[in-house]
Copies of this chain bind each other. A is one copy, B any other.
């Protein structure tokens, strides 16, 4: 259904910049090119729209972590993962901000998801990291915190874009900025976890 997709896209844009309460059905409908009652023909309520787009985003967000390969070289594997997350932040900053906004508010909708699927995924991947550490291929560091740090640094470039733009004088709009940021992040994180 073409219309549902247009609505979802408009919703991500509105929810991410104005927050759940700040976004209005009217504005979403406008952006999707239809009237409010027409939008409500496709989605029963504002909350259902919100849940729907959140769920989509969360699925996409998860997938890169799921591919972590225990057989690969740890540093190269993490380089790949970090690079991928940096690209996602650059490509879909609104999606990142919508997710962040939900978690900031205490994750009222995603709480269950975070406690179940995300928790077990993190546990699973932490075990892989711990295996690498035990094999002496990574410096000894709590794997869960390492995962948090990767999320924090990579998503920061999307979530705090306004601050980064302000501080760098909108350098972040220029092509190559993302590569430069990736270089810095990779350099610090990978050096930080290489065994000495």
A residues engaging B (CB < 8 A)?
A: 16-22, 97, 100-101, 103-107, 111, 114-115, 118-119, 122, 139, 141-142, 144-146, 148-149, 151-153, 155-157, 159-160, 162-164, 166-169, 180-181, 183-185, 187-194, 196
Contact = CB atoms under 8 A, between A and B. Distances in A.
Contacts of A100: 100, 104, 159-160
Given A100-B104, A105-B18, A152-B152, A167 B189 contact: no
Contacts of A155: 152
Question: Which 5 A/B pairs are nearest by Cβ-Cβ distance?
Answer: A192-B192, A145-B184, A152-B156, A114-B166, A188-B192
A119 B162 CA distance: 12
A173 B37 CA distance: 45
A82 B165 CA distance: 23
A107 B192 contact: no
Nearest to A107: B162
A19 B19 contact: yes
A61 B186 CA distance: 26
A180 B115 CA distance: 21
Contacts of A115: 166-167, 169
Contacts of A194: 191
B118 A181 contact: no
Contact of A20 (B22, B141, B148, B163): B22
Contacts of A139: 187, 191
Given A19-B20, A101-B104, A145-B181, A118 B167 contact: yes
